[in-house]
Amino acid sequence: MNNYTEEINRRRTFAIISHPDAGKTTLTEKFLLYGGAINLAGSVKGKATARHAVSDWMGIEKERGISVTSSVLQFEYDGYCINILDTPGHQDFSEDTYRTLMAADSAVMVIDASKGVEAQTRKLFKVCVMRKIPIFTFINKLDRDANDTFDLLDEIEKELGIATCPLNWPIGSGKEFKGVYDRETKTVISYSDTEKGTKEGTATEVSVEDEGTLRALIGDSAADKLLEEVELLDGASAEFDLDAVQAGDLTPVCFGSALTNFGVEIFLKHFLKMTTTPLPRKADIGVIAPAENDFSAFVFKIQANMNKAHRDRIAFMRICSGKFDANMEVRHVQGNKVMRLSQPQQIMADERKILTEAYAGDIIGVFDPGIFSIGDTICMPKEKFKYEGIPTFAPEHFARVRQMDTMKRKQFVKGIEQIAQEGAIQIFQEFNTGLEEIIVGVVGVLQFDVLKYRLENEYNVEIRLENLPYEHIRWIENKEEVDIDKLTGTSDMKKVKDMKGNPLLLFVNSWSIGMTLDRNKGLVLSEFSRN
């Protein structure tokens, strides 16, 4: 047994996913509060002078109150070392969320009790199912009027196709919210409106069998309803089965209110009992087990200019196996280079702490001089394997970028290339026209605003974006066998190339793709970039 096995087994690494506004960032903060990582949780909304959410660090996030990028937060709680990956809820940033889920071992799904399963929840959930990630559900905002509890569970099962197993049960909602019933201990934990942002607040526990005290605590009508629902619940809900949870077939459900801090610690305790230690990962040489192998990691995110004072790029890596030591030499497989990782650090939103060591399950940020790409593998110098790649999403919106001040061409190219390397945007150029015009493709239109904001604030470059009508993009799979100049397309087709020089075709209409294939025998088109 390695001397670091114990450290690895203490790790729990999970992502928090939700539709925008379901209270995900607030829940993240309350977790940190319990771990003592922050003393006072900040509210995301409110006046411009109010504290901003700890996990939102980019200027535009603070202005709009939405998370644009994923943050990585680590804290200790009850003997566990917990790594939280907070993801953007807004669908325009789903690519960032997808990559982050590649680095997590499980996911916490936050659902608004008055809205149920929303569009973005479905999309993110599909990614979890694809990766067979265990999902734990926190139904939030019970301090407001909520939908019927059975209906909420029913909706999760129908919409997401996963069985639910409630670990606790809410008693009322909104002004009538009295607390929750814990199914395991058969006790009622009463709700008291805790002061926002602090973990104090009194909770009274009463056995459900002590009917007199229960009625005195929550009132007759709430007690009658609870006893009736508990009976129904015991007869109707799925049995708790840890194997089914870990296979991603059953989601344990907890109820509470992250804003007022009720039910958060109960959920955290249940969650930690059920989640796994860091999971093995697939590589081209087979499965790499966390504790049995030496250090290895993969890059799942690159972020430039997290701190204006540093003007740097950080590559975020998920350590998959072994122990990382800041002095060790490692191999960057894709660059085929043996090197030391520079300035390894742990990042708490935009605060940094230089690390000397880290273990499988941890997320570290390292200084990137421009050599890393998303999906790259890092391992020991003697090894040379690659972890499974992270696919690139096809952009759905395109715009031509015009620079307002041509004297700043150098800053403009540097800025747009760096932002593209983070994976948030994809950049293309006209094919063989000699034009230096840049076309930007994004998955969600809000990315255009982020691009504009960041070029202005981080690179001092002003741009104008002209929307283009293209909606479909195809990579040419067999570019060596095709003369791109002689391709016969449709009137709505545009030839472009990506930053690696690969030829691509843009189309306004989906039917044009089929026509182009018919007119060019042997042409093979793909929706994904393979390199």
Q: Output the pLDDT for position 9.
A: 94
Q: What is the pLDDT of residues 163-218, one digit of tens each?
A: 999 999 999 989 888 889 988 888 988 876 654 445 555 567 888 788 888 888 88
- The boundaries of every CATH 3.40.50.300 domain in the chain are 5-174+239-274
Q: Output the pLDDT for position 89.
A: 43
Among 318, 230, 240, which Cα is nearest to 274's?
Answer: 240
Q: What is the pLDDT of residues 430-446, one digit of tens each?
A: 876 655 678 998 877 77
What number is the average pLDDT over the span 27-48?
58
CATH (one of 3.40.1180.10, 3.30.70.3280, 2.40.50.140, 3.30.200.210) for 397-526: 3.30.70.3280
Torsion of CA 112, 122, 98, 34, to 10 degrees: 20
* 258 against 57, higher pLDDT: 258
Fold for domain 281-379?
Elongation Factor Tu (Ef-tu); domain 3 (2.40.30)
What number is the average pLDDT over the span 220-240?
85
Rounded CA separation 144/264 (Å): 16
CATH (one of 2.30.110.10, 3.40.50.300, 3.40.50.10190, 3.30.43.10) for 5-174+239-274: 3.40.50.300
Work out the percent of the chain whose per-residue pLDDT is above 70: 83
Rounded CA separation 28/18 (Å): 12
- The boundaries of every CATH 3.30.70.3280 domain in the chain are 397-526
Q: Output the pLDDT for position 358.
A: 93
For Cα atoms 452, 456, 462, give the angle at the middle one, nearest 5 degrees: 80
DSSP 8-class letter at 114: T
- The boundaries of every CATH 2.40.30.10 domain in the chain are 281-379
Rg (CA), the chain: 25
Has residue 303 got a pLDDT over 80?
Answer: no
Q: What is the pLDDT of residues 453-506, one digit of tens each?
A: 888 888 889 989 999 999 888 888 888 888 888 888 889 999 998 877 888 899
DSSP 8-class letter at 362: -
Q: Output the pLDDT for position 193.
A: 60
Q: Output the pLDDT for position 194.
A: 54
Q: What is the pLDDT of residues 244-254, one digit of tens each?
A: 999 889 999 99
The first and second tokens of residue 367, run together, are 């200084």
Torsion of CA 411, 412, 417, 422, to 10 degrees: 90
Looking up tokens 């089929």 gives 514
E strand or H helix that includes residue 429: strand 426-430
The region of weakest confidence among 302-306, 343-347, 364-368, 411-415 is 302-306
What number is the average pLDDT over the span 61-69?
44
Q: What is the pLDDT of residues 77-105, one digit of tens each?
A: 889 998 888 765 444 445 666 778 888 99
3-state per-residue secondary structure call for 267-317 = HHHHHHHHCCCCCCEEECCEEECCCCCCCEEEEEEEEECCCCCCCCEEEEE
Q: Output the pLDDT for position 65.
A: 44
Among 42, 17, 172, which Cα is nearest to 97's?
Answer: 17
H-type alpha helices, 108-190: 119-130, 149-160
What number is the average pLDDT over the span 358-378?
89
Rounded CA separation 193/42 (Å): 17
